[in-house]
Amino acid sequence: MTQLNETHAPRLTSWVTSANNNSDFPIQNLPFAVFRRSGSDEVMRGGVAIGDQVLDMAAAAGAGVFEGEALAAAKAAAQSSLNALMALGPDTNAALRLALSRALRSGAAAQSSLANCLVPQAAVEYDLPCRIGDYTDFYTSIHHATAIGSLFRPDSPLLPNYKWVPIGYHGRASTIGVSGQTFPRPVGQTKAPDANEPSFGPCKRLDYELEMGIFVGRGTALGERIDIDAAEAHVFGLCLLNDWSARDIQAWEYQPLGPFLAKNFASTISPWIITLEALAPYRSAFERPAEDPQPLPYLTSDFNTAHGNIDIQLECLIETAQMRAAGEAPARLSSSSFRHSYWTAAQMLTHHSVTGCAMNPGDLLGSGTQSGPQPEEAGSILELTGGGKRPITLPNGEQRTFLEDGDSIVMRGYCQRDGAARIGFGEVVATVLPARV
């Protein structure tokens, strides 16, 4: 259970001056990624974002500025994946965060040792931050669930179990890519409403989903359950997630067992993982409408009720091929917030493990599409267009009901609150290519 400490102080500045100029990555953030210099054959290794720079943890771990638990964590962060760092748990990771904060602050003696460990973000490329062994996608926005349900099941848009159980399905970890991912339009079976039989071909109703990704930190053994009071000790951090969806394939296949090929062709995450500790200033109460069922005792704790939600502002933009060729900026489609989630990260993880399911460092939980209560807060184009019935007109005059080849979707996130420094998640970008037929 992360609390506020000296690393969150809004007055802190860094000797990396770009971190002090309304950056997504001020010294109060210090997120982790895996990187190397663009176009090089360097070994991938862990890095920490500070302003417009990456602190190369492989170089920093040998610079003589860390000791004890912080040094052990720095060495783990220097590896080609962050699984070992995640497995160390919150106390050791907190020691590294504190040491990094003190070493990167304005006037720190470590400046002379770490200055040569910086690499400009503009000159790097990223890999997945860890080995993702398992991926589970939840369905935690009641606004999204109701909107989608009304399109797929008009007579029963929200199923009775939704308000009692954190609904999820097991996804395909092998198709998760890091920001910059390109993928061919999926191909599969679909069935038109007026057709007597299904047909096979490229998806015609391709969609995005604006989500948060939650990375498991310290793992558990088979048969071990995670108590909700301890759940956050098993969360390493959060990232942005675009869980692409083939809506026409989904409509034909999803009953009776749920998503399958409609969801297994691509999912894209942002490169930077913002630790749960960095998000401490932006916690808020977990609340349920009085008329709704309250969570069962195993999904309830005093801390989760008081601080379970995280206020993360989210936005989604589109860049079409025509916009790209004209040098036009991406156009905003919608904005929302993670605070609208019907279930918290702790509740998702607790429920996932309640059967004794083993959780491993680097496992990824998707939050499900984060739609808000207002129409302009929809987290998918399916919702924005009413199932394709209301085309969106973009600033350049183009229209979209669903995504076309060449479209790039850009998602961004940040946290901002009075009395705390603004921190960001960067962005996640991916592009649709023509189907391979």
pLDDT tens-digit map of 75-87: 999 999 999 999 9
Residue 90: name the closest of 235, 283, 302 by CA. 235
Q: Answer whether 6-127 and 135-433 agree in fold.
A: no
225 SS3 class = coil
Residue in the structure block whose two tokens are 């296949």: 253
Residue 1 has pLDDT above 60, yes or no: no
Tokens of 256: 């009776």
Residue 315 marked ligand-binding = no
197 SS3 class = coil
- Distance from C-alpha of 51 to C-alpha of 395, rounded to nearest angstrom: 31
Fold of 6-127: SH3 type barrels. (2.30.30)
Instruction: Encode burial over 319-329: b for 16+ CB neighbours within 10 A, e otherwise.
Output: bbeebeeeeee
Q: DSSP code of 82? A: S
- Distance from C-alpha of 73 to C-alpha of 94, rounded to nearest angstrom: 9
Residue 211 marked ligand-binding = yes
Where do the structural domains in the chain lie, given as residue ranges? 6-127, 135-433
Residue 189 marked ligand-binding = no
Q: Is the separation of the CB atoms in 304 and 228 below 8 Å?
A: yes
Residue 243 marked ligand-binding = yes
- Distance from C-alpha of 381 to C-alpha of 401, rounded to nearest angstrom: 7
Tell me the DSSP string of 348-370.
HHHHHHTT-----TT-EEE----
**H-helix or E-strand containing 316?**
strand 313-319
Residue in the structure block whose two tokens are 């079976």: 189
Q: 297-322 pLDDT, tens per residue? A: 999 999 999 999 999 999 999 999 99
Q: Is the separation of the CB atoms in 14 and 26 below 8 Å?
A: yes
Q: 90-122 pLDDT, tens per residue? A: 999 999 999 999 999 999 999 999 999 999 999
Q: Which is the catalytic residue, given 143, 144, 307, 340?
A: 144
Radius of gyration of the chain measured on its C-alpha atoms: 22
Q: Is the separation of the CB atoms in 320 and 407 below 8 Å?
A: yes
**Which pLDDT value is given to residue 258?**
86
pTM equals 0.96
Report strand pairing: 235-243 vs 206-207: unpaired
Q: 237-291 pLDDT, tens per residue? A: 999 999 999 999 999 998 888 889 999 999 999 999 999 999 999 999 999 999 9
- Mean per-residue pLDDT of the chain: 96
Q: Is the separation of the CB atoms in 330 and 409 below 8 Å?
A: no
Residue 356 has pLDDT above 70, yes or no: yes
Q: Which residues contact 112 (CB under 8 A, 6 or more apart)?
A: none
Residue 341 marked ligand-binding = no
Residue 383 has pLDDT above 70, yes or no: yes
Look up 143 and say whether it is catalytic.
no
Instruction: Point out which residues pair with 241 in neighbouring strands.
Output: 211, 269
What is the percent of the chain with per-residue pLDDT over 70, rounded to a whole number? 100
Residue 253 marked ligand-binding = no
Residue 209 marked ligand-binding = yes
Q: Quote the CATH superfamily of domain 135-433.
A: Fumarylacetoacetase-like, C-terminal domain (3.90.850.10)
